[in-house]
Structure 1
Amino acid sequence: MILQSIPSPSDSVWELGPLPIRAYALCIILGVVAAIWVGEKRWVARGGKPGQIQDIAIWAIPFGLVGARLYHVISDYHLYFGEGKDPITALYVWRGGLSIWGAIALGALGAFIGARTMGLRFTPILDSLAPGVLLAQAFGRWGNYFNQELFGKPTDKPWGLEIDVANRPTGYLDHDTFHPTFLYECVWNLGIFGILIWADAKFKLGFGRVMALYVAGYTLGRGWIEYIRIDDVQMDDVFGLRLNVWTSIILFVLSVAYFIWSTKRRPGREESVFLDPAAESVDDAAGESADAAPAPTRDADRGADGGVDPEQSDR
């Protein structure tokens, strides 16, 4: 049987006793796990130590979540503030409403703070994390699918997404199927993920250029995907374009400019991922010496004549 459209899930929350399991939250969690796993492998390959990306994530994830929600609430404040609105719902993250722009901005700030406290260079961390972030975004978009949100204009294509009447914007109540923008962005993110892995392996990119390629590649796709979305945004139609389209354009230009500037100014990769490679070498050597040192024996406690050293007899 050939599907004439993509059905939407009937449920986005499953009750496990008194505990509600939300599909949106699961998608976000799976994305975070994937990002850390990929970032950890890439970081170790760059010369970092196992576990350091997980430590960075302790800083980056809380900052990123706050930034993601903050950007959404600011750009869609009419959903939470004003007559008949309940401001406390601005804190209901599980209902959806996380912006990637805010997540990247404050998440990067958290990663920077974590990197400085650990004595690590920031740009290798960005380059290690960038592909994994795309995987996280690909997983996260499926949360929009379960919530029946952020879809595109009506379409009669076989891949049109069925949306319940209760979730359709005013003016589109008579349409049944819409562009599945969640799927478009998921596929696009996976494609850019593959390009980043290939480009980094072939050209040995460094000094934040993998992150720059990530921003350029993602915004290139996000711009046209955003253009076909029909969800209401308070800051809509800025000089004829949605706010997020303008954001994509600006970030694309800035990331390409940085990539070109960085390539000319600092070709190649960082020689070390540590701020103080000399100190790191000393620490490694000290650790290896401690591991290689033989354990003390009872003979070491004996005097020159073979007797027990009085100073050691009370051990």
Structure 2
Amino acid sequence: MSLASDLLAQFASPGPVIINVGPITIRWYGLLIASAVLIGITLSQYLAKQRKVDPDLIGDLAIWLVIGAIPAARLYYVLFEWSEYAQNPEQIIAIWQGGIAIHGAIIGGLLAALIFARIRRVSFWQLADLVAPSLILGQAIGRWGNFFNSEAFGNPTNLPWRLYIPPEMRPPEFANFAYFHPTFLYESLWNLMVFALLIALFVRDVQGKQRLKTGTLFLVYLVAYSLGRVWIEGLRTDSLMLGPLRIAQVVSLTGIAIGLVGLVWLYVYNRALPDVVEEGMRGEG
């Protein structure tokens, strides 16, 4: 049976590798991450123009975000899976094989953006609003890397959209099950809906139909993404754990709380969010 027939017969990954050329291996995971970064930069620069912000500022910020987010995403994952990597320390840098955590990337990216905004004397929240749609779109794209790696799947299921997982990738306790919830797909679709919401809010703001206060888009992203992650994480078999707690759920609930408090601060108390640089001291970027 051909590969195409196999894929039509069951929802299954064709494998993590696109092509091998001599010593060079091109993997889906790396290609998707690179694509997400490039698409995100292009989109955020377009949004910056609509907000009359210098798009070159976004290009400069992107370098900081990559430097801050990707190592932090890997470090976050390794720390919570240290028992595995302690036995194989050479695998710590093997990021192309998967094993990064989006919450680690967000934390690393936030720290990098705060430093960048401080140095360039621009509003952190303005930058965050311009990056938020690109961030959630990148997350939607990146989740497909989990599909090709046959990872980040959920509990066994017989639903029509069930995902086939090869025997060697199944958790020991589910070795006799072949089909699982495609939680990567659930999250990718959820993220696309959040992306559509953010773009709709942005367009209404630019058109003057619904003026948004600085920081609104990022706070909405924080709440909306985290709401989806809480319930999707509950289906997964490979959650990063801290004792009995699923770390992603704890961080997501924290994100929801922070986002809601921020929105109340903006729209109920009608006050601007604290920023790294006071408005009167901001430069041109």
Q: TM-score, normalised by structure 1?
A: 0.80
Bigger shift: 172-181 or 260-269?
Answer: 260-269
Contact 1:124 1:206 in 2 (8 A): no
The superposition leaves residues 141-192 of structure 1 with CA deviations (integer Å, 9 ceiling, x where unpaired) of: 0110010001001111111001000000011111111000111011000000
Q: Which residue of 2 aligns with 1:43?
A: 48
Residues 1:35 and 1:209: Cα distance change in structure 2 (over 3 Å): same
Q: Distance in 2 between matches of 1:235 and 1:12?
A: 32
Q: Which residue of 2 aligns with 1:307?
A: none
Q: Which residue of 1 aligns with 2:13?
A: 8
The superposition leaves residues 83-132 of structure 1 with CA deviations (integer Å, 9 ceiling, x where unpaired) of: xx121211211111111111111111112222233232111100010011
Q: Distance in 2 between matches of 1:65 and 1:77?
A: 18
- Percent of aligned positions that are identical: 35
Q: Distance in 2 between matches of 1:133 and 1:11?
A: 23
> Secondary structure of 2:161's partner?
coil
The superposition leaves residues 199-219 of structure 1 with CA deviations (integer Å, 9 ceiling, x where unpaired) of: 233333232111110010001
Q: Which residue of 2 aligns with 1:157?
A: 159
Aligned-residue Cα RMSD (Å) equals: 2.5
Contact 1:145 1:182 in 2 (8 A): yes
- Pick from 125, 128, 132: which aligns with 1:130? 132
Q: Distance in 1 between matches of 2:222 and 2:192?
A: 14
Give structure 1 stretches of 5+ with no counterpart. Answer: 284-315
Q: Aligned pair count?
A: 272
Q: Which residue of 1 aligns with 2:207?
A: none
- Pick from 66, 69, 78: which aligns with 1:64? 69
Q: Which residue of 2 aligns with 1:287?
A: none
Letter paired with 2:175: L
Letter paired with 1:103: A
Q: TM-score, normalised by structure 2?
A: 0.88
- Pick from 14, 26, 35: which aligns with 1:30? 35
Q: Distance in 2 between matches of 1:212 and 1:127?
A: 8
Residues 1:236 and 1:159: Cα distance change in structure 2 (over 3 Å): farther
Contact 1:138 1:190 in 2 (8 A): yes
Q: Distance in 2 between matches of 1:6 and 1:114?
A: 43
> Secondary structure of 2:19's partner?
strand
Contact 2:68 2:109 in 1 (8 A): yes
Contact 1:76 1:235 in 2 (8 A): no
Letter paired with 2:217: V
Letter paired with 1:35: G
Contact 2:11 2:161 in 1 (8 A): yes
Contact 2:136 2:195 in 1 (8 A): yes
Aligned positions of 1:119-268 closer than 5 A:
119-202=121-204, 203-231=210-238, 233-235=240-242, 237-238=244-245, 242-266=246-270
> Secondary structure of 1:15's partner?
strand
Residues 1:278 and 1:249: Cα distance change in structure 2 (over 3 Å): closer
Aligned positions of 1:111-126 closer than 5 A:
111-126=113-128
The superposition leaves residues 273-300 of structure 1 with CA deviations (integer Å, 9 ceiling, x where unpaired) of: 99568964xx9xxxxxxxxxxxxxxxxx
The superposition leaves residues 203-244 of structure 1 with CA deviations (integer Å, 9 ceiling, x where unpaired) of: 332321111100100010001110000116342522xxx221
Shift of 1:10: 3.3
Shift of 1:268: 8.9
Indicate the structure (1 or 2) with the bigger Cα radius of gyration.
1
Give structure 2 stretches of 5+ with no counterpart. Answer: 205-209
Residues 1:193 and 1:186: Cα distance change in structure 2 (over 3 Å): same
Q: Distance in 2 between matches of 1:165 and 1:279?
A: 57
Shift of 1:17: 2.9
